[in-house]
Each structure stands twice: as C-alpha cells, then as structure tokens.
Amino acid sequence: MNFSGLNYNFAQYEVDEKTCRIDMNKVREIALREKPRMIIAGFSAYSRDIDWKAFKSIADEVGAVTFADIAHIAGLIAGKQLENPVPVFDIVTTTTHKTLRGPRGAIIMSKAAFQKDLDRTVFPGIQGGPHDHINAAKAVCFKEALKPEFQAYAKQVIKNAQALAGELMGRGYRILTDGTDNHLMVVDLRSKDLAGKAAEIALEKVGISCSRSTIPFDTRKALDPSGIRLGTPSLTTRGMGEAEAKLIGGFIDDAIMASGDEAKLAKIHGQVQELCQRFPLYV
Ligand SMILES: *Cc1c(COP(=O)(O)O)cnc(C)c1O
C-alpha cells in the first residue's frame, strides 16, 4: 500500500510454510532468477536472527547492492545480542524508536561509496529543516545504547520474550518458529476460537497492547488475520523479568479465553494493573 511498493518493482521471498523460517536456498533461487539490483533484508514480524552473510554472498553472486532494515532489532544489535549487518551490508537503516528506545526518527548507515547519493537524496531530495530536538534525543539514545547496562537490558528483553513464548506454548498456543531469538513473537491463534482482531480487543480491555498479525500463508484478511504479535521491550524497561513475563503469558491466555465476558475481563484488568503498579514507569 505504501508508495515504495508502487514505485519499485519488488520480487518477494518468503518463509517456509512449515518452519516459518527464511529458506536461504529459496532466496538464492529467486535472486538468480530475478537478478535484482538490490536485496533487502530486515523484518517487522520475524522472531529469528538473520544470516546477513548468507544474504551478502547471494547478493555478490548476482551483483546486487545489500540493504538491511533493522528498525525492529537495532537495540538488540547495539546491545550485542544479535548478529550485526553493519560490517557486512552496503546500506543499513533503522528507526530510533523501537528496541533502540529513542525518539521517533531514523538513521541511515552506509559504506562510503553510497554516501554522496544518499546525502543528496535525503537533502534536498526529501527532507525539510532539521528537527533539532529529535537530533538531541537521538544523541541521548545512542549514548544510552553504548552503556553496559544497555547490553544487560537487551539480554533481558530476549530472556523475557523466550519466557513469554514458553508460557504460551505450554498453554497450547502455536508460536511461529516455535520460539524466538529476539524481542518478539507471532502467535498463531487458529487452534483457539478467536482470530487476531478479537484477541487484540480482548487484550486491550485488560490493559495489554498487541498488534493483530497475519501468519504466513494466512487465509484470513489482513484486517482480521489469524494471529497476534507480542513483544517484551517495554515491560523489560519497567524492570520486569522472566517471572513476570510468564505471569503475563497467563493473563494473555486468560483474556483470550474470556473474550466477550466483560466481568472476567475486568477482573484480569485488575490483575494487570496490580502488576504494573509494582513496576512503575518512573521511579
Ligand atoms: C517500524 C519499521 C519501519 C518504520 O516504520 P514507522 O512507521 O516509521 O515506525 C521501517 N521498517 C521496518 C522493518 C519496521 O519494522
């Protein structure tokens, strides 16, 4: 729906239907067939670490530029918990407002050969005047990300995601790829009597925000898909650990099972509030 999808000719690769992981042999097959000028990797709903070197070697084989969009996982890379594409790829972009935990904004990193073209395209190409307050906030964000505490934070984000995924799998939920290497997971709700939109609404009512999400090869519509996507960065920032992540897995299951029962949902909401009060945002 975005203009980038209208202006450029994208050939898609996808995950394997069973494992829900990217099959690098398929990526190579498609690249050899399509001969793309650029190969893009980086995702918003993929819970496994990315093999940047494998993408790079395919790109070299077909003469393509490599572009990584690490918007979701930049904080976990800066926190040294996931593979870093910066030494490998030609161009790396990220937002600063997701796991990097800074202000809403973005940065572009590139090899020197692309610098002039990128600079000219950003300004005067598409950007207006500088947002100095955002630039200052980005500087604070980068300084925080350099601290050892940020590595501990990134590590805990992942531990919490694994604890949450484990709790949900124990309660009979299918998690795509059977777990997670990062901060997020996509839950396939097809084994439950509730689709993504109704689950999102039930969870909102108990004070848990999530995104409805399509699952690979989803037969439902994008606006009411078969899954939800969950993540642990913000609860980790509040100081919660694995015990709380498991507790939240229980709240999520309870809320999904109680969908439509306002009295039960209100009771779960009380439990969520009680947990949040134990871990205030500002102390
Ligand atoms: C979030 C995200 C972006 C940026 O989207 P915003 O709407 O600006 O937050 C870009 N690429 C990926 C892969 C993302 O997940």
- Report CA(97)–ligand 1 centroid distance (Å): 9
CATH 3.40.640.10 residue ranges for the chain: 4-145
**Nearest alpha carbon, ligand 1 atom 1:** 71
**Token digits for 160?**
């919490």
Residue 125 contacts residue 140 (beta carbons within 8 Å)? no
Give the tens place of pLDDT for each residue, 113-145.
999 999 999 988 888 888 999 999 999 999 999
Q: Please provide residue 118's backbone torsions phi and psi, each rounded to the nearest 5 degrees.
A: -65, -45
Residue closest via CA to ligand 1's atom 7 equals: 95
Q: Of all residues in the chain, what percent are helix, strand and coil, respectively (each to 5)?
A: 50, 15, 40
CATH of 148-278, one of 3.20.20.30, 1.10.10.60, 3.40.720.10, 3.90.1150.10: 3.90.1150.10
Q: Is the CB of 69 under 6 A from ligand 1?
A: yes
Model pTM score: 0.96
Give the pLDDT band of residue 71 (cuts 50, 70, 90).
very high
Residue 73 in contact with residue 183, Cβ under 8 Å?
yes
**Binding site membership of 216 for ligand 1 (Cβ less than 6 Å):** no
Of 1, 46, 69, 134, which is best to mutate to test ligand 1, by the most ligand atoms within 8 angstroms of its C-beta?
69
- For ligand 1, whether the C-beta of 182 sits within 6 Å is no
Pocket of ligand 1 contains residue 71 by CB under 6 Å? yes
- Which residue puts its alpha carbon closest to atom 11 of ligand 1? 71
The reply to whether CATH 3.60.15.10 applies to domain 4-145 is no
Beta strands across the sheet bearing 227-231: 174-175, 184-188, 227-231, 211-213
Ligand 1 pocket member 183 (CB < 6 A): no
- pLDDT tens sequence across 163-217: 999 999 999 999 999 999 999 999 999 999 899 999 999 999 999 999 999 999 9
Strands (E), the chain: 38-41, 65-69, 91-95, 106-110, 174-175, 184-188, 211-213, 227-231
Close Cβ partners of 241 (under 8 Å, ≥ 6 residues apart): 156, 159, 160
Any ligand 1 atom below 6 A from CB of 231: no
User: Contact at 8 Å (CB) between 164 and 249?
Assistant: yes
Nearest CA to ligand 1 atom 15: 44
Encode pLDDT of 26-68 as tens digits: 999 999 999 999 999 999 999 999 999 999 999 999 999 999 9
Element spanning 129, H or E: none
Q: In whole angstroms, how far apart are CA 263 and each of 100, 177, 207, 271, 282?
A: 38, 35, 14, 13, 30
Residue 95 Cα, ligand 1 centroid: separation in angstroms? 6
Signed CA dihedral, 166, 167, 169, 175: sign only: negative
2 C-alpha to ligand 1 centroid (Å): 12
Check if 95 has its Cβ closer than 6 Å to any atom of ligand 1.
yes
The segment(s) of the chain belonging to CATH 3.90.1150.10 are: 148-278
Q: Please tell me if the CB atom of residue 42 comes closer than 6 angstroms to any atom of ligand 1.
A: yes
